[in-house]
Amino acid sequence: MATSRNGTILVVDDEEIMREILETLLTREGYDVRLASSGAEGLELARALPFDAAIVDIMMPGINGIETLDELKRIDEDLAVIILTAYASVESAISAMKAGAFDYITKPFKNDEVLVVVRNAMERRRLVHENRSLRQNIQERYHKFANIIGKSPRMRQVFDLIIQAAPSRSTILIQGESGTGKELVARAIHANSSRSERSFITVNSGNLPPDLLESTLFGHVKGAFTGAVYPKKGMFDLADKGSIFFDEIGNVPLETQAKLLRVIQERDFMRLGGMETIKVDVRIIAATNVDLRQMMEEGKFREDLFYRLHVISIQLPPLRDRKDDIPLLVHHFLEKYGEENRKRDLELTPEALDLLTEYDWPGNVRELENVIERAVVLSAGPRIGVELIPDHVRKTPNFQMPQFVVPPEGISFKDVITD
């Protein structure tokens, strides 16, 4: 039994005995409860007081449960509304869930059933508020952090490093596995710097052959190579007074590394095929998912360039090392893809969230985002269960689905429906 206040719940039901039963049950569990005998009275209370959840009977005279639900969501879009229904109106309750209800409870109900649904509603409310508060704190303290979500100690260290490093002109090396959000961190550094009003240019270092990469970076003069009919500016020209981000810097060929080193040291470059020195003021941010020190030992990466890039180093943790952030990330992606697909108030069932928390996410945040996007697209209602989680995630060794064991003597149908 809870000994402290767990939240405030609005109970709307035209039957006095039902209101009294719910009030006794929920008050005993530490909740503050407010009662309303009609939809109109419930809406009046909701406009006057903040509530964490509402339990609304679907069949009431005057303003019925569906209409009350709609208006409650207009008053507070985050309010978790639980529909109370009789067996005969389960179909209406399902319609209410499609309209934005959190869950429904059938009468007659068991006390434990009500408490489980209420606890889940409170947890969902907490996550929504926590996510919104986190975003607000990030915006106030860290300005604009793009879509970086996290409250774990490891991510707080990353946020602090971004704030400390952003105002400087120093080069930055961001290290982390694929899918950890290295480009998001680079964009956050740029957005929080004095260069934020200038260009942020991304270079996909491994997608181009050496000659084409150099032409892309530094530009070329007319006649520099076959097909160079006109002179062309490069990405360093475009990034002047701004930032240039090298994604997977370890893929840059050695000959191009030497020219990149010159830009860092001398703050100038020459176009491919040209002789003129061009001055440039650009902040270089690089990222890698490989061990550059090992590449140095193998002669694949210049030692002098490594130390020029490694002035400030930010190490991004893999998602498996910050699982406390998974509920926040899930909520963020549910909102993002729910809005894109015009689906409101989406949420994962506790079992589905447990499954995602147990999984080790070798693809990190990018893999989690893909899983949530898929689940949102395939979902038929607001609650997303384990059936919408891909097989490779559901087969996580550490995750055990609840199992029901039938005793040797068997069980009766009556026992099943009464337990």
107: β partners:
86
| Amino acid, single-letter form, for residue 40 | A
Of the candidates 258, 260, 324, 262, the residue with the CA atom closest to the CA atom of residue 286? 260
Query: How do residues 189-244 score in pLDDT, each as one tens digit?
Result: 999 899 999 999 999 876 677 778 888 899 888 888 877 778 888 899 999 999 99
Residue 58: both structure tokens together:
């679907």
Question: What integer best gives the mean pLDDT of the chain?
Answer: 86
Residue 319: both structure tokens together:
């998602």
The domains located in the chain, with CATH, are 8-134 (3.40.50.2300), 143-317 (3.40.50.300), 322-394 (1.10.8.60)
* Other beta carbons less than 10 A from residue 407's beta carbon: 6
Of the candidates 26, 19, 24, the residue with the CA atom closest to the CA atom of residue 41? 19
Query: Which pLDDT value is given to residue 98?
Result: 76
HSE toward the beta carbon, residue 317, CA cutoff 13 A: 19
Ordered strands of the 312-315 beta sheet:
200-204, 243-247, 283-288, 172-175, 312-315
Q: Number of helices (H) and strands (E), helices first, in the chain?
A: 17, 14
Query: Which pLDDT value is given to residue 126?
Result: 82
Query: How do residues 338-368 score in pLDDT, each as one tens digit?
Result: 999 999 889 999 999 999 999 999 999 999 9
Residue 339: both structure tokens together:
């809005």
DSSP per-residue string spanning 30-54: T-EEEEESSHHHHHHHHHHS--SEE
Residues 78 and 123 sit within 8 Å (Cβ to Cβ): no
Distance (Å, whole) CA 358 – CA 364 = 13
To 10 degrees, the CA torsion angle through 242, 247, 251, 253? -10
Query: Which pLDDT value is given to residue 272?
Result: 87
3-state secondary structure of 172: strand
Strands 283-288 and 172-175: parallel
The pLDDT > 70 percentage for the chain reads 87
185 contact partners, CB below 8 Å, separation of at least 6:
148, 158, 162, 174, 314, 316
Query: Which pLDDT value is given to residue 149?
Result: 87
Distance (Å, whole) CA 78 – CA 55 = 14
- pLDDT bin (cut points 50, 70, 90) of residue 3 is very low
Q: Which of 35-39, 92-96, 156-160, 254-258 has the lowest mean pLDDT?
A: 92-96
Distance (Å, whole) CA 266 – CA 279 = 8
Whose tokens are 């059936």? That residue is 387
Distance (Å, whole) CA 328 – CA 315 = 21
> DSSP strand E in 138-199: where?
172-175
Distance (Å, whole) CA 127 – CA 14 = 31
Whose tokens are 């509304």? That residue is 81
Element (H, E) at 306: helix 303-309
Query: Which pLDDT value is given to residue 4?
Result: 39
Query: Which pLDDT value is given to residue 326?
Result: 94
Distance of CA 152 to the CA centre of its chain: 13
Distance (Å, whole) CA 282 – CA 293 = 25
CA–CA–CA angle 41, 44, 120 (5° rounding):
85
Of the candidates 219, 204, 199, 207, the residue with the CA atom closest to the CA atom of residue 263? 219
Query: Which pLDDT value is given to residue 125?
Result: 83
Distance (Å, whole) CA 412 – CA 91 = 27
Indicate whether 115 pLDDT > 90. Answer: yes
Strands 347-348 and 383-384: parallel
Indicate whether 48 pLDDT > 70. Answer: yes
